[in-house]
Amino acid sequence: MTVMRRALEFLFTRALRSRLGVALMIGVVVVAVLGATRLISNPADSADGLSSRPDGPIITVDPTAGDDGLLNSAAPPSPVTSPGARTPEQTAERFAKAWLGRPGMTAEEWQAGLRPLSTPALREKLTGAEPESVPAEKVIGPPSMRERNETFVELLLPLDAGGLRLELVTADGGWLVDVLDWERP
């Protein structure tokens, strides 16, 4: 016990108080930190150490699956219209004419004019709307169409007080307006 006591006393009173003792202690701490870091982060053999990192990159997409980017260079397919059915442009023009209405039109007449050209979802959203709430009076140009796929298109009709943006979908062989949006100039 006295030997241990003397060794500790020597260590704390003389060795650690000298420059050489402090330098040795710093060296031991540096070696311990480097050894622990190497053991955890980058072992020589991937089976060694505490890290469970994979050796190579994790591939989540099949590299042979084609272009998975946001921008698609291929042109969207043209919308499909059944023989004898209205085209998306014709449906949009008829809807715009019914939506603009005429002076003195009642809400029931206005809703009845929109009903055959709109989806049930849009009909429900337009419930309670009045023809007086329409902010325009006439169409001033042809619609411009943006084809999304064979069964979904967007059309923008220029009106005297802005633009009417319509999203059309196919239903039962014909085109119906599903979304109606107003764009101000």
Q: For 117-142, what is each residue's pLDDT tens digit?
A: 999 999 999 888 888 888 888 889 88
Percent of the chain with pLDDT over 70: 81
Counting Cα atoms < 13 Å in the Cβ hemisphere of 33 gives 6
What's the pTM?
0.59
Pairing of strands 144-149, 162-171: unpaired
Task: Read off φ and ψ for residue 40, nearest 5 degrees.
Answer: -80, -45
DSSP 127: T
One-letter identity of residue 95: F
**Cα(99)–Cα(180) distance, integer angstroms:** 10
Task: Phi first, then psi: give them for residue 60, nearest 5 degrees.
Answer: -105, -10
Q: 46-104: per-residue pLDDT in tens?
A: 555 555 666 677 767 666 666 656 666 667 677 777 777 888 899 999 999 998 888 88
pLDDT the model gives residue 169: 92
d(CA 146, CA 167): 10
* pLDDT tens digits, 104-119: 888 899 889 999 999 9
Beta bridge partners of 169: 152, 176
